Amino acid sequence: MSERIFVGVAWPYANGPLHLGHIAGAYLPADIFARYHRLKGNEVLMVSGSDQHGAPITIRAEQESTTPQEVAAKYHQQFIDCWKKLGISFDLFTTTGTTNHTQVTHDIFLNLLNNGHIYKEKMLQAYCPKCRRFLPDRYLVGTCPYCGFTKARGDECDECGKPLNPWELKDLRCYLCSTPPRFESSEHFFLRLSAFQERLTGWIKEQTHWRHNVLSATWKFLGEGLKDRAITRDLNWGVSVPQPGFERKRIYVWIEAVIGYLSASKEWAKLQGDDNAWQAFWENDAKSFYFIGKDNIFFHTLVWPAMLMGSGGLNLPYDVPANEFLTIEGKKLSTSRGWAIWLHDYLERYDPDPLRYSLAVNMPENGDSDFSWHEFLRRNNNELVATYGNLAHRVLTFAYRNFDGAVPTVGELDERSKSLLHTAKVALDRVDELLCHRQFKESVKEAMSVAQEANRYLDEQAPWKTIKIEPETSAKSVYTVLSVLAALKTIFYPFLPFSSERLHSFLGFDGSVKDEGWKIQFLPPGQRLQQPQPLFVKLDEDIVAKESSRLDSLNENRKIES
């Protein structure tokens, strides 16, 4: 029976380009998972969008002497181009700037207010006497009271990941002019998060299928005791507060960003011409998965579930498979220091599948992992080109030339050939199991091991030798490897969608891999093959030196604040 799978992916701030840390952290695993479930015949709704609000956007607009709208529009378009080129298959990638999003945010806000989960209280808000403005949390810097990091922001510490309130920071100053702010009283709405402590604890206890890192971070927050959180700010850029007297305030960006999952689902439904179609993904036995980086755990495992509990009627997350961080060449990725590899920049020069492969095989699932150009080159040349690509290319070329451009017709296969086909079947089932449990790294390694095994078989069978003396034996080994390729284009499809589609057509199949389902597609003898082309391109050794110097120069020249 087909399942309904909701895939929510972190909302990127539209204040700067995407880098490989974003992709390894959330977008690639979400896409692999969505593609896998679509192949399984499940109904999938995968949504996200640009986060147009929040201080990172207004800071960027001030730096570039433009408006937040223009900053957001520019990066939103760049995100959409990147998704297309990298094959990130959103059902909808929208923005938080739509009237639909404002409407849905207001609905949730009012539900929470009417149910008594939101209350009004005066709080102290930082005010810069020099800039003559209230300072949102991200406009404040100071020393983290937990780890001593001297550049912690007013909302969280980038070093230790703790969510913070501005008044907790030591040596607090204005981000724009370094003046110490004064605190002035201002009325705000608070989410009564403390009241959910017990209910959330009970619910988290049941989530034994979550990743260890996600559970331990969540238990840590619960152990410290949940505190009520201000959910409005003194700002003029963001979603309005649907209450009189709050015209000059906005809903806190983190609160409305998580509501984006729901508003995007509703927008998708309207675009389908069925306003209620979203409900199937949010109610009853539908399962929802939230793919995020580890810095977003608090808002996805505690705040958003509390809001859903308080608002009522919608499913809580089934899993929040948050990834750890990606380092670049052994160093912590930092957009402010320009130590990052930008996705659009990569995609201008290289193919998408090698990046998808190298990030998947080394995904920061259970701990931080590193991306280096040397490793990228090695994965591309030794694994994609020399193992998988070479297997496909040599057997397809051989079949094309020696069997009249068609899949050879064979009698009963020998035991060795049957055993290889069995290996492919076992791998299909194993990857099925692994992907179902969000174990991406192991899945892609399993798939590559089948290609390795098939290469060994091909070398040992040497159909190019047997063709002259025993053409039937040659035909059997060629048929066997072509059948393994028919399995591999499916097993690899969630990871390498572009190469899988090409291999699908080289094997003479019509249509698309995604329509064939999670099974080994039978290869009919006599099926016309297409003139094969190499699946992957071998890269020059000198890219390592070139890319390293490029990274160094970006590191010196770019001074962009995250």
Residues that bind Zn ion in the complex, under the rule CB under 5 A: 128, 130-131, 144, 146-147, 149, 157, 159-160, 174, 176-177, 179
Element (H, E) at 37: helix 28-39
Cβ distance to Zn ion smaller for residue 213 or 483: 213
In the complex, the smallest distance separating the C-beta of residue 158 from Zn ion, rounded to whole angstroms, is 8
Rounded CA Rg of the chain: 26
Torsion of CA 510, 516, 520, 521, to 10 degrees: -30
In the complex, the smallest distance separating the C-beta of residue 454 from Zn ion, rounded to whole angstroms, is 50
Cβ distance to Zn ion smaller for residue 157 or 258: 157
Instruction: State both tokens at 304.
Output: 């958003």
- Residue 31 in contact with residue 113, Cβ under 8 Å? no
How do beta strands 182-191 and 118-128 pair? antiparallel
In the complex, the smallest distance separating the C-beta of residue 369 from Zn ion, rounded to whole angstroms, is 23
Cβ distance to Zn ion smaller for residue 101 or 162: 162
Cβ distance to Zn ion smaller for residue 147 or 426: 147
Residue 327 has φ and ψ, to the nearest 5°, of -100, 160
In the complex, the smallest distance separating the C-beta of residue 183 from Zn ion, rounded to whole angstroms, is 14
In the complex, the smallest distance separating the C-beta of residue 337 from Zn ion, rounded to whole angstroms, is 18
Cβ distance to Zn ion smaller for residue 159 or 516: 159
Phi-psi group of 508: left, alpha or beta (phi > 0 → left; psi -120 to 50 → alpha; rest → beta): left
Instruction: State both tokens at 448.
Output: 């590559």
- How many other CB atoms are found less than 10 A from the CB of residue 317? 21
Instruction: State both tokens at 364.
Output: 């920061």
Return the exposure string of 144-160: e unless at least 16 CB atoms fall within 10 Å of the residue's CB, then b: beeeebeebbbbbbbee
Cβ distance to Zn ion smaller for residue 180 or 405: 180
Cβ distance to Zn ion smaller for residue 140 or 458: 140
- Residue 303 in contact with residue 258, Cβ under 8 Å? yes
Instruction: State both tokens at 383.
Output: 């694994």
Cβ distance to Zn ion smaller for residue 152 or 251: 152
DSSP 224-237: H----EE-EES-SS
Q: What span, in angstroms and rounded, lies between the C-alpha atoms of 51 and 44?
A: 22
Determine the distance from the C-alpha atom of residue 461 to the mean position of all C-alpha atoms in its chain, rounded to a whole number.
41
Residue 528 has φ and ψ, to the nearest 5°, of -70, 130
Cβ distance to Zn ion smaller for residue 235 or 486: 235
In the chain, DSSP finds a helix count (H) and a strand count (E) of: 20, 16
Residue 481 has φ and ψ, to the nearest 5°, of -70, -35
| Sequence-separated (6 or more) residues with CB below 8 Å from residue 148 | none
Cβ distance to Zn ion smaller for residue 224 or 510: 224
In the complex, the smallest distance separating the C-beta of residue 279 from Zn ion, rounded to whole angstroms, is 41
How do beta strands 152-153 and 170-174 pair? unpaired
Cβ distance to Zn ion smaller for residue 160 or 271: 160
In the complex, the smallest distance separating the C-beta of residue 439 from Zn ion, rounded to whole angstroms, is 31
Bridge partners (DSSP) of residue 122 are 187
Q: What span, in angstroms and rounded, lies between the C-alpha atoms of 431 and 445?
A: 9
